[in-house]
Amino acid sequence: MFVDNVKIYVKAGDGGNGAVAFHREKYVSHGGPDGGDGGKGGNIVFRVDLGTNTLLAFRYRHKFIAGNGGNGKGGKLHGATAPDLIISVPPGTLIKDAETGKIIHDMTENDGADYICCRGGRGGFGNRHFATPTRQVPMFAKNGTKGEERELVLELKMLADVGLIGYPSVGKSSLLSRISSAKPKIADYHFTTLSPNLGVVSTGGESGFVAADIPGLIEGAADGAGLGHAFLRHVDRCRLLLHVVDISCSEYRDPIDDIKNINYELRRYSEALAERPQIIVANKTDMLDRERVDIDEFEEFVKDNGWELIYVSAITGEGLDEMVAKAAEMLRELPPMIIYEREYEPEDAYVGGSKETTVRRENDTFIVEGEWLLNLMGQINFDDYESLNFFQKVLKNSGVFDLLEEKGCTDGMTVSIYDFEFDYVK
């Protein structure tokens, strides 16, 4: 079974809590604070695995939860860092936010390329970090921040330069098997191909290109007729389409109608795909019957639409070299394969937990706490300017700054939000 669209739940590990502890030793009466820090929670990491081309594994497993960091202990002992949870996906997998449908990342890199999708929470500081000349016995430590959690949709869009499309039984798989080492199933009944096939086409000398054939399309595919048009997502990235027709009309359809119908279905799937350059591949020339098809009319139709036209036979091999050469030539001029950009911004982050915020004053330090903040903090990367900016904005909009002022916080005083401390500036 071919699976190319799944919904999963992922959660990175929470950071461990910092410890409140004091040094104890014989003959040392007032040992200083020595509570260790919490360990970091495990990340959720996606990894490209070139060995797979389906999301089948996710049909049976929907939940991925990374381990939590260990808590800190006395004697400056740090909690253990939890290992990352690695999720392997086929190349070309799009990671989307399930709720908004926004693209988070496109896994198009090479084998083994990693993408950290959800960061584990940071460990909280133990109390030894909070000792100051005026606060020699800090009775508090910080909790670790929460690991990010979210629901994702994984969608596979295969990585192919060239896509073979057309009605069932026109010979798409036969052609792919002739020009590449792919071994797709070929038979004289409709919908022989039930899932996309990929093949590497060598063009001699150059690096070659990747071609994909998909199940046959029919009229009404966009409404679900035949196998529907969902498989078009696998030629969505293709830079060039080989639009295959049966020029022998062995099934008594008119190739001109076929081309019009398929292009209509392409347009209903996506305007961009319908605008993609096409080569019309007139297959089965070995059985060409000029009584059945008006070749002049056909050629005029193709020419009027500005498409390239190549006659081939997957059986005799006629025209195949020319087809591959033409495709390679066009690919040299065409823009690179589509790689989807990130649409998901920090402000789209899901922040769970109670919205209540509390501010507690200890000398000139204001400690801000709240379940939602603990969740949010795990998602902020304090080394990243944009992330930091976003954090500032949230603090302002959620009324945290107002609350601080209410409690008497003025310029130069310290604000402490879990593992983040800064000087207050109005």
Q: Which residues bind Mg ion (CB under 5 A)?
A: 172-173, 192-193
Q: Does 261 bind ligand GTP (CB under 6 A)?
A: no
Q: Which residue is nearest to ligand GTP (CB)?
A: 216
Nearer to ligand GTP, 52 or 192 (CB): 192
Identify which of residues 93 and 177 has a Cβ nearer to ligand GTP in the complex. 177
Closest distance to Mg ion from the beta carbon of 163 (Å):
13
Cβ neighbours, 10 Å, residue 316: 11
C-alpha dihedral (384, 388, 390, 395), degrees to nearest 10: 160
Tell me if 357 contacts ligand GTP by CB under 6 A. no
Residue of 188, 271, 296, 423 interacting with ligand GTP (CB under 6 A): 188
Least CB distance to ligand GTP at residue 390 (A)? 48
Size, binding site for ligand GTP by CB under 6 A: 23
Evaluated on CA atoms 376, 379, 381, 387, the torsion sign reads negative
Residue 243 CB, nearest approach to ligand GTP (Å): 12
Q: Which is nearer to Mg ion, 143 or 193 (CB)?
A: 193
Q: Which residues have CB under 8 Å from 30's CB, separation 6+?
A: none
**Nearest approach, Cβ of residue 311 and ligand GTP (Å):** 10
Structure tokens at 224: 């679900």
65 touches 24 (CB < 8 A): no
Under rule CB under 6 A, residue 173 binds ligand GTP: yes
Check: CB of residue 45 under 8 Å from CB of residue 153. no
Q: Which is nearer to ligand GTP, 183 or 342 (CB)?
A: 183
Question: Does residue number 314 form part of the binding site for ligand GTP (CB under 6 A)?
Answer: yes
Residue of 186, 256, 320, 367 interacting with ligand GTP (CB under 6 A): 186
Q: How far is the CB of 91 from ligand GTP (least distance, A)?
A: 23
- Binding ligand GTP (rule: CB under 6 A), the pick from 35, 79, 163, 171 is 171
Q: Is 301 exposed, middle or buried (0-12, 13-18, 19+ CB in 10 A)?
A: middle
Candidate list 17, 127, 283, 416; residue touching ligand GTP; CB under 6 A: 283
Q: Is 138 in the site for ligand GTP (CB under 6 A)?
A: no
Residues paired with residue 369 on neighbouring β-strands, in sequence order:
358
Select from 99, 111, 251, 286 the one that contacts ligand GTP (CB under 6 A). Answer: 286
Q: Cα(first)–Cα(last) distance of the chain, in Å? A: 60
Nearest residue (CB) to Mg ion, 197 versus 416: 197
Do 125 and 141 form a contact (C-beta atoms < 8 A)?
yes
Q: Which is nearer to ligand GTP, 189 or 385 (CB)?
A: 189
Which of Mg ion, ligand GTP, none does 9 bind, CB closer than 5 to 8 A by kind? Answer: none
Least separation in angstroms between CB 67 and Mg ion: 45
Could you give the count of Cα atoms lying within 13 Å of 310 in the half-sphere of its Cβ? 23
Closest listed residue to residue 81, CA positions, set 41, 119, 47, 139: 41
Mask of contacts with ligand GTP, 31-70, x by CB under 6 A? ----------------------------------------
Residue 183: CB minimum distance to ligand GTP, A? 12
**How open is the CA angle 209-210-216, to the nearest 5 degrees?**
135
CA atoms within 13 A on the CB side of 34: 11
Please say which residue, 187 or 339, places its beta carbon nearer to Mg ion.
187
Tell which one of 124, 284, 375, 379 touches ligand GTP (CB under 6 A): 284
Q: Which two tokens stand for residue 399?
A: 């009324």
* Residue from the set 6, 170, 212, 221 that interacts with ligand GTP by CB under 6 A: 170
Which of 121/184 has CB closer to ligand GTP? 184
Q: Contact residues for ligand GTP (CB under 6 A)?
A: 168-174, 186-188, 190-193, 215-216, 283-284, 286-287, 313-315
